[in-house]
Structure 1
Amino acid sequence: MEQLNGTCEDLTFNESIGYKKQEKGLATQSIHAGQKPENWMCRAIIPPIFTSVCYEQTIPRNMNDFFYTRLGNPTRSVLEECLAALDKAKYAVTFSSGVSAIMTVITTLKNGDGIIASKQFYSGTLDGLAIAERIGFDVQYIDFTDLKNLEDALKPNTKLIWTETCMNPTMQVMDIKAISDLVHTKSDAVVVVDNTFLTPYYCRPLELGADIALYSLTKYFSGHSDILGGSVTMNSDELYKTVRYGQGAFGTMLSPFDCYLVNRSVKTLALRMEKHSENSFKVAKFLESHPAVEQVNHPALKSHKGHEIAMKQFSGHSGVFSFYLKGNSHEKAIKFFKGLRFIPICTSLGGIETTLAYPREMSHPKFSDEDCFAMGVTYGLVRISVGIEECDDIINDLRDALDGIEKSGKNVEKIITKFERL
């Protein structure tokens, strides 16, 4: 879709706190890209859901654009065209979950190929990499904050560099441009960036030099905690053919109905991301000032080690970040969670509702204390996904819970049992 030049020049909230200027047109593209009414005979404004498994061929083997829905579906094509446009990419491929997108990208390699990654990633990615190691891939784990580590780790068999825009859950900010430039100078490896936390609205890894941008559509693209999905975007014809083949071969495509729902949700992505961003910054500033909080990991805060990189590479931040409670105490963390009134505890993020997660027991229980502490996942670490509720309500709930940490008489047994069941 041709980008339209806007005339609204007011300074946005994110620009006012130092992020780079937001590019015009993304909100318009999220509503219109891939959605021309002339694409269907009835000229509907909203793309229809095509549920048919198969499509008529005029003669055998005279394949049209669509012939079997596992390999192609009109509703899925609408969503993929929109996602590609938002990332300024040539191609997008959608999957039944973020993890299925991860595994499909990994399987573009052959036995013995090397992958460089980090131990501080999303736990689902770590599970996928553990499987990759078991079936014969050479996986190395490094600290990406020092590019010398990456340069030293590159080997002739290195074919995939895997990183995240912001590490989950510690929120370390990666210098995507520096990583991509180094890799492409020293090797022919593919750089994959998990951009789930920011979406193309706030960061486009392909423009920073990455080869593949990966997303859990479950999170901000969906935005309502009711859809499971994943996607990748890219510009390489060869990568696209390999990933598309894997999608069809493994049968990990997104269903037509889920494509319709994500497509509907993407139309409000710009509005939601602006509210998430503003709310999360205000909540982060509050948490930074509370005596029960040791440290807040939000890229917009000047205290964040990756603040300068974030200001250069991002045009804002989403609602997700993390913070450390003082004392690194499991008991204090449980008292904090017990003191919440309306904010739920759950494993996902990116929905319109504010949620909290306790990584040590929810996403990282299989790791030892030694490994977790090395990753920064302590008993005091809390991950928050700030929603779009009234910001004062979010802050007041957190304040009451934090104020109650030192109070005695809290019954924590019930919530501990709840964690043990997860």
Structure 2
Amino acid sequence: MKAAPDANFATQCIHGGLEPDPQTGAVMTPIYQTSTYAQSAPGEHKGYEYARTGNPTRTALQDNLAALEKGKFGICFSSGLAAMDAILRTLRPGDEVLASDDLYGGSYRLLTAVMGNFGIKSRFVDMRDTDKLAGLITEETKLLWIETPTNPMLNIVDIQALTALARKRGILTCVDNTFASPYLQQPLEMGADLVLHSATKYLGGHSDVVMGAIITRDEELAKQLYYLQNAVGAVPGPQDCFLVLRGIKTLHLRVQRACENARHIVEVLQQNELVANVYYPGLPDHPRHEIAARQMRDFGGMVSFDLKEDTLEAATEVMKNTHYFTLAESLGGVESLIGHPASMTHASIPREQRLSVGLTDSLIRLSVGVEDAEDLVKDLQQALAAAVAVG
């Protein structure tokens, strides 16, 4: 049965916003694989008329996501970038977005190469210094686009400080919560207007679906986004919605295990003489560790590190020799992945800008899965050793 609003997170994963199917009593939300719905008379129907506009499986997922993020409205899209596109479509020519200078390459591409053509300006700034950020806001600034932890440098931004600043200046805030998932942090509780997810990642959790989602408490924003969801039509299919609903039921278990595994891996990487720097907000010497500890339940399953031999060739040798860490795009699945941001996820960002935030040619990003931690540690150790042997 549907979870109470004050139910704890694990209970919300299983029951949040969900009821057994009213027609059959099915405990798992059915896949409503239909494009249209019968009407008793023109305009008279049971709440659904056309599948682009609405689908019961999608509705169940949207309600579930709203419960997980402690929001009121969930709006799902065919990908994380489609969800971001919908938010940016609420802006007007001449409006400005201030975005994290360390952010996902696809977000950078959408802001610059696409939205720039429609008169929406973007500036990429260090959001760790709230006072400095306040001085960068202009009358044209309408949206703060926040990542925390950032992709791929794992920087931490103080959500509460930024949302308080934005509210005083009449600016909207959106937090891309993909890296953390709602299990680790809930930005709406810290003042954010919007939360975005690439549901492809931790929410789905099994690397078998592509989807995006937005959650908000603001009814007016929700109305605009539901309108765009229908008018533009970048909607997920019912089977994809079913898969994400299934994934969410183990979200708390998967993310906690990934956090535990990441801690083991970070300890080993710090001791390896080939590694120059390890980036992980759970480290006591991470410059924003205290903020991460305050606004997150744990520190996540994402780890980045760079090599003392700062070359693409050195990084390539490491990534070619892993066994359990699969060289692939994406993150947040049950399986561990290894990637090279400079040539993969962040290739659309100019090299000079990448280097300015510390994204070196040898930087390697890990998405730590739920395998046995000892096997993952051994895999990285042998890959690093193999790279030395080749070098």
**What TM-score comes out, normalization by structure 1 length?**
0.89
1:61 CA displacement: 2.1
CA–CA distance in structure 2, aligned partners of residues 211 and 25 of structure 1: 22
2:339 paired residue number: 357
Structure 2 residue corresponding to 1:203, chosen from 171, 185, 194: 185
1:101 is matched with which residue: 83, 106, 122?
83
Partner Cα distance (1:71, 1:365) in 2 = 35
Deviation digits for residues 1-39 of structure 1 (CA, Å, limit 9, x no counterpart): 44498xxxxxxxxxxxxxxxxxx62111111123312x4
Q: 1:67 and 2:49 equivalent? A: yes
Please tell me whether the aligned partners of residues 53 and 230 of structure 2 are also in contact (alpha carbons under 8 angstroms). Answer: yes
Kindly report which structure 2 residues correspond to 1:138-287, keeping only aligned pairs within 5 A, or say none.
138-185=121-168, 187-287=169-269
Looking at structure 2, the residues matched to 348 and 363 of structure 1 have their Cα atoms a distance apart, in angstroms, of: 8
Matched, 1:136 2:119: yes
Q: Name the counterpart of 1:84.
A: 66
CA distance in 2, matches of 1:366, 1:49: 37
Q: Distance in 1 between matches of 2:154 and 2:131?
A: 21
* CA offsets 1:397-418 (integer angstroms, 9 cap, x no match): 100111233224x6xxxxxxxx
Cα distance between partner residues in 2 of 1:250 and 1:375: 35
1:342 to 308, 311, 324: 324
| Farther-moved stretch of structure 1 (164-173 vs 45-54) | 45-54
User: Alignment partner of 1:400: what SS?
Assistant: helix
Runs of 4+ in 1 over 6 A off after TM superposition: none
Q: Give the structure 2 partner of residue 375 of structure 1.
A: 357
Structure 1: tracts of 5 or more residues without a match = 6-23, 411-422
One-letter identity of the residue aligned with 1:301: L
- Change beyond 3 A, Cα 1:43–1:286: same
Deviation at 1:63, TM superposition (A): 4.7
1:6-21 aligned at under 5 Å gives the runs: none
**Letter of the structure 2 residue corresponding to residue 227 of structure 1:** V
Q: Deviations over 1:81-135 (max 9, x none)?
A: 1110011100000111111001111001111111111231101110110111221
In 2: Cα distance, 1:192 partner to 1:4 partner? 23
After alignment, is 140-149 or 246-255 more displaced? 140-149
**Cα distance in 1 for residues equivalent to 2:95 and 2:350:** 28
Matched, 1:29 2:12: yes
Give secondary structure in 2 for the equivalent of 1:406. helix
> What letter is aligned with 2:144?
I
Give the superposition deviation at 1:295: 1.1
> How many Å apart are 1:146 and its aligned residue?
1.1
Say if 1:339 and 1:53 are closer, same or farther in 2 by CA, change over 3 A. Answer: closer
User: Given that residues 105 and 348 in structure 2 are in contact (C-alpha distance below 8 angstroms), is that contact kept between their aligned partners in structure 1?
Assistant: no
Aligned residue type for 2:245: N
Deviation at 1:66, TM superposition (A): 1.1
Contact 1:329 1:379 in 2 (8 A): yes
Task: Show the counterpart of 1:389.
Answer: 371
**Partner in structure 1 of residue 384 of structure 2:** 402
1:211-268 per-residue CA deviation (whole Å, 9 max, x = no partner) reads 0010000000111111000101000000000111111111111111100111111111
Task: State the distance in 2 between where 1:378 and 1:26 align.
Answer: 37
Deviation of 1:64 (Å) = 3.7
Gap runs ≥5 in structure 2:
none
**TM-score, length basis structure 2:** 0.96
Q: Secondary structure of the residue that 1:361 maps to in structure 2?
A: coil
Q: 1:115 aligns with which of 97, 100, 108?
A: 97
Please give the per-residue CA displacement for 1:277-331, whole angstroms capped at 9, x wherever unaligned.
1001111111111111111111111121111100000001321121111121222
- The one-letter code matched in structure 2 to 1:33 is G
**Structure 1, 331-340 or 96-105: larger mean CA deviation:** 331-340
Q: Tell me, what secondary structure is at the counterpart of 1:403?
A: helix
Compared CA separation, residues 261 and 216, structure 1 to 2 (3 A): same
| 1:287-302 equivalent positions in 2, closer than 5 A | 287-302=269-284
Q: Which segment is superposed worse, 366-375 or 111-120? A: 366-375
Aligned-pair distance for 1:140? 1.8
The 1-side partners of 2:63 and 2:173 are apart by 22
Please give the secondary structure, in 1, of the residue aligned with 2:24: coil
Per-residue deviation, 1:370:
2.1
- AA of the residue aligned to 2:17: G
Q: Deviations over 1:364-403 (max 9, x none)?
A: 3344432221122111211000111110100001001112
Identity of aligned residues (%): 36
Cα distance in 1 for partners of 2:92, 2:45 equals 30
Deviation at 1:46, TM superposition (A): 1.1
How far apart are the structure 2 equivalents of 1:65 and 1:281? 47
